[in-house]
Amino acid sequence: MARHYLDHASTTPTRPEARAAMAAWDQSGITADPGRVHSEGRMVRAALEEAREQVAGLFAVRPRQVIFTSGGTEAINAAVWGALRADRGPVVCSPVEHSAVRDASARGAPVVPITVDQFGRIEVGAVDEALDRCRSLHGRNPSLAHCQWANHEVGTVQPVAEVIEHCRRLGVTTHVDAAAAAGRLPLDLGQLGADLVSVSAHKLGGPAGIGALIIRRGLRLEPFVVGGEQERARRAGLENVAGAIGFGAAASVLAAPGALGAEATISRSQCDRLLQSACAVTGVRAFGDPVHRLPHIVCVGVEGVEAEPVLLGLDQSGVAVHSGSSCSSETLEPSPVLEAMGVDAERSLRLSVGWSTTDADIGAFEAAFGGVVDKLRALGG
């Protein structure tokens, strides 16, 4: 049976350009610590810095602002750790943030929630209310405010520029989790002005095991990982040079003129087909903002049937999808994102496309979905 992968929001296949760049580096046989001054070390350093420039180019920042990490999760933890080490105070954070953001914040400080609307969207007014509660409960502004660029589960794009600008006027340090949006939307982080932004390579077609924390120019941040002077003393440990090269190659593909927009147009068209076919089934409705959403994510609720049996039924038909967010499903708990939106948190299905998605993948879902839901409803869910 042919397999059809529609779970690109969890991880997307490594782009051929990234695989080729990593293979060429491996075949070069060069092995050295990029912190050494001998010829081999300088060659590795040059490759690492070229990758850093490529990643910086995709996000419109200076290379010195890009700190390579082991992935988005480490970047988030580093952002929270560094911000709270500099100023040990409360954090404001919405319940629709990724679990890495919520858990890292809760471990280090009292968290004051930011409410969201029925689309999972953060409004500037809700941020103001959270700041007021923070001052009322703790007698001060927060040490850190989080605002994801876009939601990883329902695809809603946040008014991130407005939120960041509002927090900047109040002197509140900001962190943006951009992992879901990076490589899907144009992200001009230099213009945005956020203090800290976390991204992950495997979400946009780079390899797993590499990500970046992007730090605002002039911001001093204590390192989360200590024990060395790597990454300009902001992240200790021998750098993952091959991973950085793959990340840089994927970023370079997306930074080419028109490339990101062309992929987004295709993804949006594919998701429109998925949404139309899903909602043609009785009792299925879409979650998230219908207009201001990521181009590659569709989230639907299926009335009368829990999500896991639908997922398994589609899997038996050769279609890989996801229910809920990638981390919440591992504990089989209801999605905190959907709970915050006030919808049924146990009956969601997330479909997501990527650079390698084909018409056959979309067609396989269209052919299978209605029959799987009808069969489960006949069996009583």
Residues annotated catalytic, as ranges: 327
Distances (CA, A) of 19 to 15, 126, 201, 373: 6, 43, 13, 38
Q: In whole angstroms, what is the distance from residue 321 CA to residue 268 CA? A: 17
125's CB contacts (< 8 A; 6+ apart) are none
Bridge partners (DSSP) listed for residue 176: 197
CA 296/CA 271 separation, integer angstroms: 6
Contacts of 59 (CB under 8 A, 6+ apart): 66, 182, 187, 188, 189, 190, 197, 199, 214
Do 284 and 305 touch, CB atoms closer than 8 A? no
Residue whose pair of structure tokens reads 């998701």 in the numeric block: 271
Nearest to 346 by CA among 375, 381, 370, 294: 381
